[in-house]
């Protein structure tokens, strides 16, 4: 063990006093070695955090420097990928935050009938989440501070690792507002179960949930540690309903990020709503005060999250010609340019025709059907991840896109968009939606606030 640097003031999940907490001793400078193991190419992802233009990202850099100091003298200087993202703010982190490389998403059901226990857990979670996003243990002295006779309050696998851009985003499902906790009159009007769509193959064991936690980080161990510790704290109050690991973001949420590729090998996220578009975010992502007049007024500044587990039949795709693949998507594979154009960010021209006189972007191509011009101006912020969950027992990889999208009103945005795609998208031959959920993600927290307050006010 090395000598410890001065300790930061972080909340104690157990008592809420804001007492001094213990930050993971950097030990063997695990941050840097783990980053190398990750094999993440530095520039694009670092640019995503370092070069972000808004003041929030400047703050994140300040936090990163602080976290590096707190983590002890043997920690390597904070790199962009290691940085801490501010936990508090107008909106929850993890929505427009430049998408990190890894995801651990969990949907939970509340198993207690005691309203006070749920409120208390949300308060405990807030403190632990704030600590972990700063690179600290889930609770002060979590690793060994409880002594030899008690189970540690932090499971330990992220001890010594940097914050790694961890964000923890919470959401509430429609079922939380039934008659169990007296929350029926607090239900936001826009929080409705999604309707069935043509072709849905939904598995109830991969759908729904009273609550969700989205943990994103540039180190998978940090994301998994966050979810594991929050679930552990919730024992007896909540139980995991389903979860999903994701690798390789499939969207850029900042213009500073390079566009990643999905499991079909195409650039995904080119035409996303981005952090640098404040008007677009207000119009399409953040719930406005006038959106919710009744008991759901607490959602102002929040956003609705739609999660869909979409299996991609990659063996079929891999036997499909390049021309067919590009026609299905409506963009070229290498550059990501709209068909008929040359560069990735060129505008889509739906009137343009190819040499044979047919539309350059086929009428049922994915990007045509999903484009705002075909949907009355609708847009959403996509923040999904690739997944591969082993194989299905009959020789195929169980791989796909864990589609996550944030929006102001699912009924006015996701539902019409998905209806259009479900009925006509050429992509449907190659994909299958087998999990689905919708959550209301509350606004960000100001100093001293915790998640239970606005919900139970
Ligand atoms: C209901 C919304 C959407 C689902 C479900 C969805 C699934 C899905 N998408 C791809 C691959 C690509 N999608 C692209 C663009 C794109 N997709 C949606 C919406 C859904 N996609 C939108 C709104 C857009 C943007 C359309 C536009 O304005 O141009 C692209 C092109 C690159 C890009 O702009 O992001 C790809 C590639 C897959 C493989 C998939 C399901 C597995
Ligand atoms: Fe798409």
How many A from CA of 270 to the centre of ligand 2? 10
Residues with CB under 6 A from ligand 1: 262, 264, 266-272, 308, 310, 312, 329, 331, 348, 366-367, 370-372, 380, 400-401, 403, 414, 417-418, 421, 431
Q: Write down the pLDDT at residue 16.
A: 55
Q: How far apart are CA 292 and CA 438, in angstroms?
A: 17
DSSP state letter for 99: P
**Distance from the Cα of residue 126 to its chain's centroid:** 17
Q: How far is CA 357 from the centre of its chain?
A: 42
Ligand 1 atom nearest the C-alpha of 310 is 42
Q: How far is the CA of 403 from the centre of ligand 1 (A)?
A: 9
Q: Are 303 and 407 contacting, i.e. CB atoms less than 8 angstroms apart?
A: yes
Residue 69 located in a structural domain: no
Q: ipTM for the complex?
A: 0.99
CB 226 within 8 A of CB 217: yes
CA of 421 to the centre of ligand 1 (A): 10
73 in a structural domain: no
Q: How many domains does the chain have?
A: 1
Inside any domain, residue 439 = yes
218 φ, ψ (degrees, to nearest 5) = -90, 0
Angstrom distance (rounded) from CA 7 to CA 22: 6
Q: Which ligand has the shortest distance to the CA of 264?
A: 1
Q: Which of 200, 263, 268, 435 to mutate to test the pocket of ligand 1 (most atoms within 8 A of CB)?
A: 268
| For ligand 1, atom 40: residue with the closest CA | 401
| Ligand 1 atom closest to Cα of residue 330 | 31
Nearest residue (CA) to ligand 1, atom 20: 370
How far, in Å, from the CA of 370 to the mean position of ligand 1? 7
**Quick check: is 204 in a domain?**
yes
Q: How many Å apart are CA 268 and CA 366, to the nearest integer? A: 12
Give the per-residue pLDDT at 14. Answer: 63
Residues 6+ apart with CB under 8 A from 249: 99, 100, 101, 103, 260, 269, 383, 384, 385, 386
Domain of 308, in residue numbers: 102-141+152-456
Which of 271, 304, 326 has the most ligand 1 atoms within 8 A of CB, as the residue to mutate?
A: 271
Structure tokens at 46: 């670092």
Q: Is residue 46 a part of any domain in this protein?
A: no
288 in a domain, yes or no? yes
Within-domain flag for 220: yes
Residue 36 lies in a domain: no
User: pLDDT (tens digit, 0 to 9) for every residue of the chain, 457 residues total?
Assistant: 333 334 446 777 666 554 434 444 433 333 333 443 333 333 333 233 222 223 333 333 344 334 334 443 333 444 589 999 999 999 999 999 999 999 999 999 999 999 999 999 999 999 999 999 999 999 999 999 999 999 999 999 999 999 999 999 999 999 999 999 999 999 999 999 999 999 999 999 999 999 999 999 999 999 999 999 999 999 999 999 999 999 999 888 999 999 999 999 999 999 999 999 999 999 999 999 999 989 999 999 999 999 999 999 999 999 999 999 999 999 999 999 999 999 999 999 999 999 999 999 999 999 999 999 999 999 999 999 999 999 999 999 999 999 999 999 999 999 999 999 999 999 999 999 999 999 999 999 999 999 999 899 8
User: Which ligand minimizes its atom distance to the CA of 330?
Assistant: 1
């Amino acid at each position: 063990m090395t000598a410890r640097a001065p300790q930061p003031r972080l909340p104690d999940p157990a008592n809420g006093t804001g007492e001094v907490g213990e930050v993971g001793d950097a030990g063997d400078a695990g941050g840097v070695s783990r980053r190398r193991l990750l094999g993440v190419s530095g520039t694009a992802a670092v640019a995503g955090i370092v070069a972000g233009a808004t003041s929030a990202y400047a703050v994140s850099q300040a936090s990163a420097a602080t976290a590096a100091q707190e983590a002890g003298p043997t920690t390597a200087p904070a790199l962009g990928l290691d940085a801490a993202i501010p936990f508090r703010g107008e909106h929850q982190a993890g929505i427009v935050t430049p998408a990190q490389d890894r995801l651990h998403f969990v949907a939970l059901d509340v198993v207690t009938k005691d309203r006070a226990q749920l409120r208390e857990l949300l308060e405990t979670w807030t403190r632990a989440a704030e600590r972990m996003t700063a690179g600290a243990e889930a609770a002060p002295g979590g690793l060994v501070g409880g002594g030899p006779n008690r189970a540690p309050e932090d499971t330990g696998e992220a001890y010594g690792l940097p914050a790694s851009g961890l964000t923890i985003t919470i959401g509430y499902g429609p079922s939380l507002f039934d008659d169990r906790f007296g929350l029926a009159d607090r239900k936001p009007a826009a929080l409705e179960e999604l309707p069935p769509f043509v072709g849905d193959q939904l598995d109830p064991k991969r759908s729904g949930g009273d609550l969700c936690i989205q943990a994103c980080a540039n180190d998978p161990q940090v994301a998994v540690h966050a979810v594991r510790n929050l679930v552990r704290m919730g024992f007896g109050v909540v139980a995991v309903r389903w979860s999903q690991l994701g690798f390789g973001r499939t969207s850029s949420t900042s213009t500073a990020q390079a566009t990643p590729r999905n499991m079909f090998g195409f650039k995904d996220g080119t035409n996303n709503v981005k952090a640098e578009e404040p008007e677009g975010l207000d119009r399409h992502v953040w719930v406005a005060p006038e959106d919710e007049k009744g008991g759901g007024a607490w959602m102002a500044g929040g956003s609705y999250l739609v999660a869909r587990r979409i299996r991609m039949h990659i063996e079929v795709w891999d036997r499909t010609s390049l021309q067919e693949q590009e026609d299905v998507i409506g963009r070229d594979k290498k550059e990501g340019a709209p068909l008929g154009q040359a560069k990735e960010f060129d505008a889509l021209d739906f009137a343009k025709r190819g040499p044979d006189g047919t539309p350059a972007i086929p009428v049922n191509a994915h990007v045509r059907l999903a484009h705002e011009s075909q949907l009355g101006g609708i847009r959403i912020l996509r923040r999904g991840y690739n997944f591969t969950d082993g194989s299905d027992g009959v020789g195929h990889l169980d791989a796909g896109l864990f589609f996550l999208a944030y929006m102001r009103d699912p009924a006015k945005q996701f539902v019409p968009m998905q209806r259009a795609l479900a009925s006509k998208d050429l992509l449907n031959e190659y994909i299958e939606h087998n999990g689905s959920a919708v959550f209301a993600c509350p606004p960000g927290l100001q100093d001293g606030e915790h998640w239970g307050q606005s919900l139970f006010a």
